[in-house]
Chain A
């Protein structure tokens, strides 16, 4: 059971100990150090403020959507590896990470099921052929009076 409190973007009863403004070439970054007055620890905010444009920039770089089953699976596998790396290398794990890993597992299984629909279809055909062969043999035995 996770006992961490519901997150507040700006902890309401903490004191701002220092506000440092640093001008950069394109924008102003403010480092706001909030020192907790409760037991919730120290939070360091490095805040970059901007207003979102009303329209998507003409030449914005957008990731291309995964177009094939392999691409989709690759993306999911990259995420799985990231999560597993954090688990085993950084020794960091949470319910939210576990949940995502399970979702990813199921997505990959759906994309690459252990038995594909094509294989099931093929098996059904083979089964039908066996059945037809059996019927033929029965008919032959009947015709020859062996049975």
Chain B
């Protein structure tokens, strides 16, 4: 019997070509792989086998404690960084993420992730990931009240309602389904000090075989770019083309 859930309509924006823009708006690109928990990663500092494997490409090490939403206790994160500190690997007991603030292209990011997985997979003692997420946090350099021309009018929402007065915070979020998982889109001005628009896309798939990871990732990227492109209007595209 087909579950009712599978009959729900899914994300169907047409995929679009990803031309080489002169400038991208990505402030942070993150790929997170969740795996069957490894209790050894609760130790401080990181277990020797992980440190040894990562110290070449990621020589800087930090420890952080993260309180995730819905949790009562802080979770230890082992954070490894490249020499230029622009690439970060964050290792928690059930997840590893690769993050950069100097995103150049998906191919470049994918290559870096592939190498990381090659290093870590033998240590993670798993042949699958429970969740694979690809998230892009974009910053659109525009002022409040100038949404027209920058953002798809469907996303303007209440921000363009003068009767509501000045909004200290205007933040929207939606969660939807895709053929292979779900996505999350958040956009707006998260607090009164933020003068630039944040556009945060997060696509993910669940229960991914490690051998299929590099096939799933481009799909997440393509869908993510399709949504990103749909969110933007002409002024943003002109800016990205160097105009």
Task: Please give the residue numbers on chain A whose beta carbons come within 8 Å of chain B beta carbons, in ascending order.
Answer: 1-10, 12-13, 15, 37-54, 56, 60, 62-63, 79, 82-83, 94-97, 99-100, 102-103
Contact = CB atoms under 8 A, between A and B. Distances in A.
8 contacts: A3-B175, A8-B99, A12-B198, A43-B67, A50-B61, A54-B59, A95-B34, A95-B131
B182 A3 contact: yes
Contacts of A41: 67-70
Contact of B97 (A7, A37, A40): A7
Interface string B162-182: 000000010101010000001
Contacts of A12: 27-28, 137, 198, 200
Interface string B51-86: 110110001111111111110001001011000000
B137 A52 contact: no
Given A43-B66, A52-B59, 6 more contacts: A4-B68, A15-B193, A47-B64, A95-B34, A96-B34, A99-B130
Nearest to A96: B94
A52 B173 CA distance: 39
Q: Which A-B residue pairs are the 8 nearest by beta carbons? A: A6-B133, A99-B36, A96-B94, A100-B36, A37-B190, A6-B135, A37-B191, A52-B55
A15 B99 CA distance: 19
A2 B202 contact: no
B240 interface: no
Nearest to B64: A45
Decide if the interface of chain A is mainly helix, strand, loop or mixed. loop
A49 B204 CA distance: 31
Contacts of A79: 39
B221 interface: no
B61 A51 contact: yes
Contacts of A95: 34, 130-131
A8 to B, nearest CB: 5
A57 B130 CA distance: 35
B88 A15 contact: no
B135 A5 contact: yes
B6 to A, nearest CB: 13
Contacts of B48: 56, 60, 62-63
Given A38-B190, A96-B35, A8 B30 contact: yes
Contacts of A45: 64-66
A2 B131 contact: yes
A100 B80 CA distance: 24
Contacts of B130: 95-96, 99
B62 A56 contact: no
Contacts of A40: 69
Contact of B62 (A5, A50, A60, A62): A50
Nearest to B169: A37
Q: Which of B36, B125, B193 has the most CB of A within 10 A?
A: B36
B28 A7 contact: no
Considering residues B37, B97, B134, which has the most beta carbons from chain A within 10 angstroms of its beta carbon? B37
B229 to A, nearest CB: 20
A50 B37 CA distance: 25
